[in-house]
Amino acid sequence: MLSSILSGLSIGSVLLLVALGLTVIYGSMGIINMAHGELVMLGAYVTVFSERFLRLPFLLCLPLAFGVTAGLGLLIERVVVRRLYGRLLDTLLATWGIGIILQQVIRLSFGPELQNVSVPGFLTGEYRIGEVSLQAYRLAIFLVALALFAIALLILYRTDFGTQLRAVTQNPQISACNGINVNQIRSYTFALGSGLAGVAGVMVSGFNAVSPTMGTNYVVDSFIVVVVGGVSSLVGTVASSALLGSVNSVVAWMSNDVLAKVVLLGLAIAVIRFFPKGLFTIQSR
Amino acid sequence: MLELEKVDSFYGNSHILHQVSFAIPSGSFTAVVGRNGMGKTMLLKTIMGLTDRVRGSLLLNTHPLTPLPTHCRAKAGLAYVPQGREIISQFTVKENILMGCYARLDGKKKMPELALELFPYLKDNLNRRAGLLSGGQQQQLAIARALAAKPAVLLLDEPTEGIQPNIVEQIEQAITRLNQDFGLTIVLVEQNIAFARRAAQQFIMLNNGAIAAKGSIHELSDELVHRYMAV
């Protein structure tokens, strides 16, 4: 039981890692970024690239991937998303298209086969707590997820950029009337969300095979996390990834993985049925 | 000096302002009056650059405003207190006021002492969530936020509409003082003719998106009011 809770936390932290960037973009800009999974994939390929050509230490790939995907996010916002504000379905299709392009670019340049990334020695061991074993890498994912969450909170609630972003989220027109450059804030937000996806990709590459289509699996789960948690709440994202991760692993421990997935989806549907705005919403009048 | 010269303004496909021209001298108090739906709010939105398309020329101290996006107009010295306040309800009172500072050219985060003096309730409740304030308090907050930008021109859209009488008086006094004691240029959209006559020096009467009459406030006769504002 204890081990299944630990594994639930570890599944939850992967969910959180991937969902964080999605929450930032969806929650504050109302944009469903269908290319999010591909940005995660790109982050993973930054690790592959660095291992092959740059020989950078694994941990240095985190900031590198952040830079690459954030830059790409900035470009995507400036060139495509900016022209489609207020047109939900169009942004959905456009970002999906961008996702497909990214997949193909990677497939053409790295090949369609699975890639493996080797993680440094200090992340491969196992710790034993009583009779439960805990993989060092799972612990690292957990810590990185928490650190990113803390950084995201800090950016949103303790910086000028964050204050402006929260103002723009609530009322873009009046924010502009108060001297806030709404377009610039939105670009940076999209870049931030994309960068977080890239970091998630690096961490994911350490325990799962890297392939051009890997993003799709992650992005579906993270959408469920974001919707269950409440779209504009970072705390909700954390709570719902922990909840969904634990439910998943407890059910998987009692029966099997397939049933766990079914229960997960059922739970998500039930939550949305009774709390259409998610579990954590900000009340305002 | 805020000058509009033959301004046409559009919102989507509707043509909402027709050939509007006027000049507002620095330090003056102008009341914009007219029935509902005649374009008063749209006039302010046009000045802030919140409509979709504009023809004609808008000048602030001889600098053209037309090419500037809204946030640059705020930095150029225009502050706007919209109808319905539109404060950020999740922010505290203090955060809402400081939000006005993003329009300051020096970028400093300073509370406007003047606004806190005019509205003591805000001073005593700086850490309260703005969404919990009453309508009148939110209106005071919206004015304080506009003042935090140290604007040259203050645009106010029906600041006393739907607000309890004791606060109405406080707000009217504050607006009058801002103009008389501190020389702030004020453009006030107002339905309350009595207040407009007390406070303003000149008026603009809008009818169907065009100027029906304008001039010194003494020329705002009962006959004009009856013709363009009686329902």
- pLDDT tens, A188-233? 999 999 999 999 999 988 888 888 988 888 888 888 888 888 776 7
pLDDT 10s digits, A1-13: 677 777 788 888 8
- The backbone torsions φ and ψ at residue A132, rounded to the nearest 5 degrees and listed phi first, read -100, 140
Amino acid at position B87, single letter = I
Helix (H) or strand (E) holding B64: strand B63-64
A182-205 and A160-170 helices, crossing angle to 10°: 110
Q: Given this model, what pLDDT does residue A282 score?
A: 59
**What residues of chain A lie within 8 A of the CB of B90, using their CB?**
166, 170, 282, 284
Q: Do the Cβ atoms of B131 and A180 come within 8 Å?
A: no
Element (H, E) at B185: strand B185-189
> In Å, what is the CA distance from B125 to each residue of B23, B91, B119, B138, B141?
39, 12, 11, 12, 11
Arithmetic mean of pLDDT, A25-35: 86
Q: Which of residues 263-282 of A touch B (CB under 8 A)?
A: 282
Shortest alpha-carbon distance between residue A170 and chain B (Å): 7
Residue A283 included in any domain:
no
Q: Where are the domains of chain B?
A: 2-229
Q: How far apart are CA A110 and CA A105, in angstroms?
A: 8
**A222 domain-assigned:** yes
The answer to whether A96 and A35 are in contact (CB under 8 A) is yes
* Percentage, residues of chain A above pLDDT 70: 98
A284 vs B contacts (CB less than 8 Å): 89-90, 131
* CB spacing of A177 vs B82 below 8 angstroms: yes
Q: Where are the beta strands (DSSP E) in chain A?
A: 126-129, 132-135
Report the residue from A178, A282, A284 with minimal CB separation from B99: A178
Chain B hits for A172, Cβ within 8 Å: none
> Which CATH number is A175's domain given?
1.10.3470
* pLDDT score for A186: 93
* Bridge partners for A134 per DSSP: A127
Which residue did the predictor score with more confidence, A134 or B92?
A: B92
Q: How far apart are CA B142 and CA A28, in angstroms?
A: 23
Please give the C-alpha separations between residue A77 and each of A71, A136, A255, B77, B183, in angstroms, as whole numbers.
Answer: 10, 37, 44, 30, 43
pLDDT one-digit tens code per residue, A69-80: 999 999 999 999
**B121-149 burial by CB neighbour count: b if 16+ within 10 A, else e?**
bbeebeebbbbebeebbbbbbbbbbbbbb
Structural domain contains residue A200: yes
In degrees and rounded to multiples of 5, residue A221 shows phi and psi of: -60, -40
Contact flag B103-A178 (C-beta cutoff 8 Å): yes
Residue A159 near chain B (CB below 8 Å): no
| Domain membership flag for residue A284 | no
Residue at A243 is within a domain: yes
Q: Which residues of A23-49 are buried (b: 16+ CB within 10 A; e: fewer)?
A: bbbbbbbebbbbbbbbbbbbbbbbbbb
Residue B153 main-chain phi, psi, to 5 deg: -130, 135
pLDDT tens for residues A42-94?
999 999 898 888 888 888 899 999 999 999 999 999 999 989 888 888 999 99
Indicate the average pLDDT of chain A: 87
Report how many domains make up chain A.
Answer: 1
Question: Is A176 in contact with B70 (Cβ distance < 8 A)?
Answer: yes
> How many CA atoms are closer than 13 Å to the CA of A61, on its beta-carbon side?
31
Q: Nearest Cβ partner of A282 from B70, B86, B90?
A: B90
Of the partner residues A175, A176, A284, the one whose CB lies closest to the CB of residue B89:
A284
Residues of A in contact with B104 (CB under 8 A): 179
| Assigned token pair, B26 | 């620095």
**Residue A52: which domain range?**
2-274
Query: What is the H or E stretch that residue B213 is in?
Result: strand B210-216
Average pLDDT over residues A103-129: 84
Probe site for chain A from B71, B95, B157 (most A CB atoms < 10 A): B71
Average pLDDT over residues B192-220: 92
Using CB atoms, pick whichever of A173, A179, A285 lies closest to residue B102.
A179
Q: Summarize the confidence of residues A259-265 as an average pLDDT.
A: 85
Q: Which two tokens stand for residue A147?
A: 């650190």
pLDDT value of residue B210: 93
State ipTM.
0.90
Superfamily for B2-229?
P-loop containing nucleotide triphosphate hydrolases (3.40.50.300)
Q: What is the mean pLDDT of residues B131-143?
A: 93
Compute the distance between CA of residue A253 and CA of residue A65 in angstroms, rounded to an integer.
Answer: 34
In contact, B184 and B151? CB cutoff 8 Å: yes
| Partners of residue B75 in chain A, C-beta under 8 Å | 179
The answer on pLDDT for B93 being more than 90 is yes
Residue of A nearest to B146 (CA): A178
Cβ neighbour number for residue B231 with a 10 Å cutoff: 4
Under 8 Å between Cβ of B55 and B7: yes
Share of chain A above pLDDT 90, in %: 36
A56 lies in a domain?
yes
Q: What is the mean pLDDT of residues B5-27?
A: 93
Which of helix, strand or coil describes residue B13?
A: coil
Which chain A residues touch B131 with a CB distance below 8 Å? 284-285
Produce one character per residue of B170-182: b if its CB has 16 or more CB atoms within 10 Å, e if not: bbbebbbebbeee
Query: What per-residue confidence (pLDDT) applies to A285?
Result: 37
Q: What is the pLDDT of residue A253?
A: 82
Chain centre distance of CA A248:
18
Whether A89 is in a domain gets the answer yes
Residue B52 to chain A, least CA–CA distance (Å): 13
Residue A261 has pLDDT above 90, yes or no: no
